[in-house]
Amino acid sequence: MTTAQLCVARTLLRMPAEKLGELSGVSLLTIRRAEAQDGPIRMMPANLGAVRRALEAAGVALIPEHGGGEAGVRLRNPAAHK
């Protein structure tokens, strides 16, 4: 997961960093540090997995980079987030 994916996912979900911390069990400071980086997120694998699972459970799909296309994020059910 990249920093851009993390920030876009939270924006699409209208999820404050504090809420992501609560849902993932990852500290707010760790989330803020991750968002301040560029490129792939450097975080303990367990924390990164917890953040990813929390975002996916909340309704986003994290799209990996492949075939020259960039990594992305999309809502799994856009109607539920209007």
Q: What is the pLDDT of residues 14-56, one digit of tens each?
A: 999 999 999 999 999 999 999 999 989 999 999 999 999 999 9
Specify burial of residue 29 (Cβ count, 10 A radius: 0-12, 13-18, 19+): exposed
pTM of structure: 0.87
All structural domains of the chain, each given as residue ranges with its CATH number in brackets, are: 3-81 (1.10.260.40)
